[in-house]
Amino acid sequence: MAGLVLGGCNGFLDEKPQSELTPDQFWQNEDDIKTALAGVYDGVQGCFDANFIHWGDARTDNLDVTQYGNKQYAQNGLSATTEGTDWSQFYVTILRANTLMQYAPGIKNVPAADLDQYMGQCLAIRAYCYFWIARIWGDAPVWLEAYSSLAESPYRARTSVDSIFTGIIIPDLQKAFEMMNTDHSSVYNVNKGAVAAMLTEVYMWRKDYGNALTWSDKLTALNWYSLASRDDWKKLFTDPTNTPENIWSLHWDFLVDGGADISGQIGANNTNGRFSVEDTLWNYFVATPDDIRGPMSVDMTVDNRDKMHKYYAIKKDKDGHQIFPKNSEANILFPLYRLADILLLRAEALNKTGDKSGALALLNQVHTRAGLPPLEDADFANADSLENGILQERQIELFLEGRRWFDLVRTGKVISTMDPVLKRRVPDGPGFGDPRLVLFPIHRNNLNSNPLLKQNPPYSE
């Protein structure tokens, strides 16, 4: 288990966890804490490399599946063996965080403020992992301590979603915010801003709009972030260190970490993309050339929808077509949180609490930054139409950023949005007539490794 908890870091944050040491041998000084923390971040990296698109975009009206992709996503036919249904990497990350939090306080001569910063990051990342697990699979096993004894049972039954939120995610994030200092020197580390962003999203998921507004206020009060300019929008994905908008980004360097699987999903020059832009969104990009987010995300010079370059720098060949890197040579800088995301969540919360003008003002900050004229109050007949406008803005602004699926789920719009798309693809397909299909199935490997687990119905084991 020591290897599971501490091993496997491919140089993330320039630290290399050791995999062959017992706890008594490993936890000697502050450098060991830094090494273990690098392993925690490496775990987060492992969670999202192959699955960021699967969880946030693949089941939505953002993407269709090409002949090279998994049709189970395009047809709502997920099963217990579908890629993207395995939660084990989240638990690897959770156990690494738990181990650090158990042993780090016992190391002597670590300044209290520094220890709080390490512990706060681990609390936040653990909560973040459980947030993803709860939204994707629902009830889930909970580990809040290091697994350090072979005599201890490795099996846990599932804990309810509500208990995970009220007992872990929310209190851990609140505690992390209080523990952490004001250091925000690295966009690749969790800081107070990232925690406030997490809590904003968590409370939106819980439909607790008052607390969502409170935590988005706390984020704004830090005075650390502002929207990047229109000219710098692309830097959000290629150079997040040098923009004022990115709150927390995940770094993938192919020289250190190898090829990123996401590049094979969205487009690379040596492979066919597994996903393509869905018809309605593609038609919007084509019909709205003034919106920079289309040409900055997709190769618009040809009908080449499986070549999406949102995460790549703009490089053109002599014919004006985007040049894509090989998937083995692609650096991917995932924006896990950025200010535009939180402003639009805040706009939703304001709209839900009756402040239409405040919501519209925030919506327009993002909308006009893209190069579009401001939206008017008359464009929205009521709160429902404004909510739809905000969600559409989120779809365009946050395309390929792991948000669309969860937006549809938390607003109850999966069936109304996706069933027409699915019926067009597969007239006799299942759609989402059974609302239990909104949850993902649990992978067969997870079920086989824990006899206390039962599959999410109506999926089979």
Domain assignment of residue 237, yes or no:
no
Residues 7 and 142 in one domain: yes
Is the whole-model pTM more than 0.85?
Answer: yes
Residues 1 and 122 in one domain: yes
How does pLDDT run across 116-141, given as a tens digit for each residue? 999 999 999 999 999 999 999 999 99
d(CA 335, CA 323): 22
Residues 164 and 18 in one domain: yes
Q: What is the pLDDT of residue 262?
A: 72
Q: What is the pLDDT of residue 334?
A: 87
Q: What is the pLDDT of residue 254?
A: 56
Most confident of 5-19, 196-210, 291-305: 196-210
Domain assignment of residue 132, yes or no:
yes
DSSP letter string, 346-406: HHHHHHHTT-HHHHHHHHHHHHHHTT-PPP-GGG-SSHHHHHHHHHHHHHHHTTTTT-HHH
Q: What is the pLDDT of residue 19?
A: 47
Domain assignment of residue 305, yes or no:
yes
Whether residue 279 is predicted with pLDDT greater than 90 in this model: the reply is: yes
d(CA 248, CA 246): 6
CATH code (residue 172): 1.25.40.390
**pLDDT confidence band for 2 (50 / 70 / 90):** very low
Per the DSSP assignment, residues forming a β-bridge with 140 are: 159
Q: What is the pLDDT of residue 139?
A: 99
Return the beta strands (E) in 22-80 as ranges. 63-65
Domain assignment of residue 146, yes or no:
yes
Residues 118 and 24 in one domain: yes
Domain of residue 269, residue span: 261-290+301-330
How does pLDDT run across 66-77, given as a tens digit for each residue? 988 889 999 999
Chain-wide mean pLDDT for the chain?
91
Q: On the CB side of 328, how many CA atoms lie within 13 Å of its CA? A: 2
Rounded (5°) CA angle 412-399-123: 75
Residue 100 DSSP SS3: helix
**pLDDT confidence band for 149 (50 / 70 / 90):** low
- Rounded average pLDDT over 388-405: 98
Whether residue 26 is predicted with pLDDT greater than 80 in this model: the reply is: yes
Torsion sign, CA atoms 98, 102, 105, 106: negative
- Rounded average pLDDT over 306-317: 85
Please name which of 45, 34, 35 lies closest in space to residue 331, comparing C-alpha atoms.
45
Residues 120 and 268 in one domain: no
Whether residue 187 is predicted with pLDDT greater than 60 in this model: the reply is: yes
CB neighbourhood size of 281 (10 A): 23
Domain assignment of residue 439, yes or no:
yes
Q: What is the pLDDT of residue 18?
A: 44
How does pLDDT run across 163-175, given as a tens digit for each residue? 999 999 999 999 9
Residues 153 and 12 in one domain: yes
Residues 159 and 279 in one domain: no
- Rounded average pLDDT over 356-375: 99
- Rounded average pLDDT over 376-399: 98
Residue pair 402/349 in contact (Cβ under 8 Å)? The answer is no
Domain assignment of residue 189, yes or no:
no
Whether residue 406 is predicted with pLDDT greater than 60 in this model: the reply is: yes
Residues 11 and 103 in one domain: yes
Domain assignment of residue 384, yes or no:
no
Q: What is the pLDDT of residue 357?
A: 98
**Between residues 427 and 122, which one has the greater pLDDT?**
122
Domain assignment of residue 33, yes or no:
yes
State which of 281, 314, 330 marks the end of a domain. Answer: 330
Residues 160 and 277 in one domain: no
Contacts of 231 (CB under 8 A, 6+ apart): none
Residues 153 and 24 in one domain: yes
Residue 213 DSSP SS3: helix
- Rounded average pLDDT over 354-383: 99
**pLDDT confidence band for 7 (50 / 70 / 90):** very low
The tally of domains found in the chain comes to 2
Q: What is the pLDDT of residue 270?
A: 64
How does pLDDT run across 195-208, given as a tens digit for each residue? 999 999 999 999 99
Q: What is the DSSP letter of 275?
A: E
pLDDT cut 70: percent of the chain above it: 90
Residues 152 and 57 in one domain: yes
Residues 156 and 268 in one domain: no
Q: What is the DSSP letter of 19?
A: S
